[in-house]
Structure 1
Amino acid sequence: MNKIPLIVSTEWLEEHLNDPKLRVIDATTFMKPLQDGGITLSSGKDSYNVGHIPGAVYADLLHDLSNPGSNLPFTLPERDAFVHHMENLGIGDKDTYTVIYDQGALVGVSVEAPQWAARLRWQLTYEGFENIAVLEGGLQKWKEEGRPLSNATDVYPKADFKGERKKEMLATMEDVIKAMDDDSVILINSLSPEDFKGETDTYPRKGHIPGSVNVFFGCHANPETKTILPNEELKKNFEKTGPLDSDKRVITYCGGGIAATWNALVLEQIGVKNIAVYDGSLNEWASREDLPLVTGSK
């Protein structure tokens, strides 16, 4: 089977909806900012039940696809549990391909970035699944264009998965500690400029990891059309990080390993190869008083 693009358009997906080899996943999770700087998290399952792209199954990142034994949200689950859940959703067979979408980054905040879809794609790719794409513009763009919706409970035949984990795609806290003083590694903070500079109270401590450069995950799409920017413009978004066409390893991080996966996917879109995501991100790092954080624009 031919490899599908990393990011597919709504037109592309509608044209392929009747393909028996297609698998569609709704990965919506709702993250709502609070006035005190915190956030609330909730599943998108009820929203899926109201209306979703025809044929799509729902994958619950918050509950089913995170590690229940972790004190941090969204950390990677055990491989066997993840693979078992995805096989039951019908994801994994070599002769199928998968498109993932969500309903947007943040509730009440206009950020055109399919971070939940990108998170699930990263998890799947990390575990060795192949031929997976993210839907450009997500369900919001799909609805705005008047494309079909369904409220049926859709299912696919159970799949069989045989791939192998790609350990190089995951960065640990220890990897990031070493990267702070390693010129062969580029650290990218994927949060807003305000979070990066330490002007918000979202995390246990303010600021960013020393040596990291800020590339906001929400700057890669046209807010009016909800389409991803051309590759040349995407490359300009990352110019400040240094020579991405080199052999340097790139580690992206954010608050909880979600937005960082969208930056990682965009980097892959522009041809960068050696990319890892720091899964614990600031939820882990900022909770450790012994780990440094700096404020300001540098």
Structure 2
Amino acid sequence: MDGLISTDWLNRHLSDPDLVVLDCTVHIDETPEGFINRSGLDDYLLGHIPTAGFADLKGDLSDQSSPIEFAPPSPDAFCAAMGRLGVGDASRVVLYDSMFSAWAARVWWMLRWVGFDHAAILDGGLNAWKAEGRSISTEPAMHPPRELTPRPRPELIVGEDEVRAAIDSPGAQLIDTLPAESYRGEVALYADRAGHIPSAINISALDLIDETGRYKPLVQLAAMHELDRDQRIITYCGGGIAASSEAFALTRLGFKDVAVYTASLQEWAANPANPMTPSSSDSI
């Protein structure tokens, strides 16, 4: 199973006994107080791809005790949560959402982080499935609980200290995956501090997706990523979601040393000791 699968593929394999389909949707609501992330569970209950369960990034797929939104739980806790959704060591997993596949990519990346490599993202997500008139179900998922064994790859997720060290390291490249206006410092999304982490280049995760919500062809993605493959690449955004979509694209392009700064600017910008650079000279 490829890391990116089509609606046709999924439709043909929905009844496979080892296949677990998971809706990973989170909604972003604009309020007078700012943007708020809301679980997509209510919409899932109104209709989802048949057999799909719901992977709740606002619930037990994040560390609820952390002040950082979407902070990864421990590998053991994450594997236990996935096991309750029916994901086991012998499973294959298809992930989707209804917003540009970034939420699905976050779950995909965490599965890689705990050593599970049999997951794929549904290209175009729920919107592509619906646009083709495919069936929608309100029936709950019936996957029995299974055991997913943690085999952690701690190098796939980095913290503040490694990001700080990467700023001046010739062996590392930081990628800011937020929109260009945020990168340039025209808007301040976190802690009233505008700009980006020094030495970071800008490749917006939104630019990975075409007008239909699908990932662009590999040849186009490759043209966007003319990077040194010997460098360690660290992606970040606001909360590690768009950064996971970029990490997914880099992995499909064959980059071997990719990590996600999951706390991203919500942690970095909140610490006044961490530098921020408004600039227009580092984007590609």
TM-score (norm 2): 0.95
Partner residue of 1:100 out of 79, 88, 95 = 95
Could you tell me which residue of structure 1 aligns to residue 4 of structure 2?
7
Alpha-carbon offset, residue 34 of structure 1 = 4.5
Distance 1:35 1:161 in 2: 41
Equivalences for residues 107-118 of structure 1 within 5 A: 113-118=100-105
Alpha-carbon offset, residue 279 of structure 1 = 1.1
1:89/1:155 contact within 8 Å kept: no
* 137-146 or 156-165, which deviates more: 156-165
- Is 1:222 the counterpart of 2:210 in the alignment? yes
Could you tell me which residue of structure 1 aligns to residue 158 of structure 2?
171
| Deviations 1:111-167 (CA, angstroms, capped at 9, x unpaired) | xx2110000111111011220001100001100110111001112011112240011
Equivalences for residues 204-223 of structure 1 within 5 A: 204=191, 205-223=193-211
SS at match of 2:81: helix
Q: Which structure 1 residue ranges, 4+ long, deviate > 3 Å from structure 2? A: 33-36
Could you tell me which residue of structure 2 aligns to residue 126 of structure 1?
113
1:26/1:101 contact within 8 Å kept: yes
Stretches of structure 1 that go unaligned for 5 or more consecutive residues are 105-112
- Is 1:191 the counterpart of 2:178 in the alignment? yes
- Is 1:78 the counterpart of 2:66 in the alignment? no
Partner residue of 2:220 out of 233, 243, 253 = 233
Alpha-carbon offset, residue 98 of structure 1 = 0.3
Alpha-carbon offset, residue 74 of structure 1 = 0.2
1:23/1:90 contact within 8 Å kept: yes
Could you tell me which residue of structure 1 aligns to residue 146 of structure 2?
159
Alpha-carbon offset, residue 254 of structure 1 = 0.3
- Is 1:253 the counterpart of 2:240 in the alignment? no
SS at match of 1:124: helix
| Deviations 1:206-249 (CA, angstroms, capped at 9, x unpaired) | 110000000000111221x333222111011123xx32xx2211
- Is 1:60 the counterpart of 2:56 in the alignment? yes
Distance 1:67 1:162 in 2: 19
| Deviations 1:168-189 (CA, angstroms, capped at 9, x unpaired) | 1011110010000001101000
- Is 1:27 the counterpart of 2:14 in the alignment? no
Q: Aligned pair count? A: 280
Distance 1:82 1:56 in 2: 19
* 48-57 or 120-129, which deviates more: 120-129
Could you tell me which residue of structure 2 aligns to residue 89 of structure 1?
85
* 198-207 or 44-53, which deviates more: 198-207
Could you tell me which residue of structure 2 aligns to residue 272 of structure 1?
255
Could you tell me which residue of structure 1 aligns to residue 131 of structure 2?
144
SS at match of 1:42: strand
2:75/2:150 contact within 8 Å kept: no
Partner residue of 1:284 out of 260, 267, 280 = 267
Alpha-carbon offset, residue 33 of structure 1 = 3.7
1:92/1:159 contact within 8 Å kept: yes
Distance 2:173 2:142 in 1: 41
Read off the aligned partner of 1:79 and give its amino acid letter: P
Read off the aligned partner of 1:202 and give its amino acid letter: L
Distance 1:178 1:133 in 2: 32
2:79/2:149 contact within 8 Å kept: no
Could you tell me which residue of structure 2 aligns to residue 109 of structure 1?
none
1:126/1:169 contact within 8 Å kept: yes
SS at match of 2:140: coil
Distance 1:201 1:213 in 2: 17
1:127/1:166 contact within 8 Å kept: yes
- Is 1:293 the counterpart of 2:281 in the alignment? no
Read off the aligned partner of 2:207 and give its amino acid letter: C
SS at match of 2:169: coil
Distance 1:42 1:221 in 2: 22
Alpha-carbon offset, residue 35 of structure 1 = 6.4
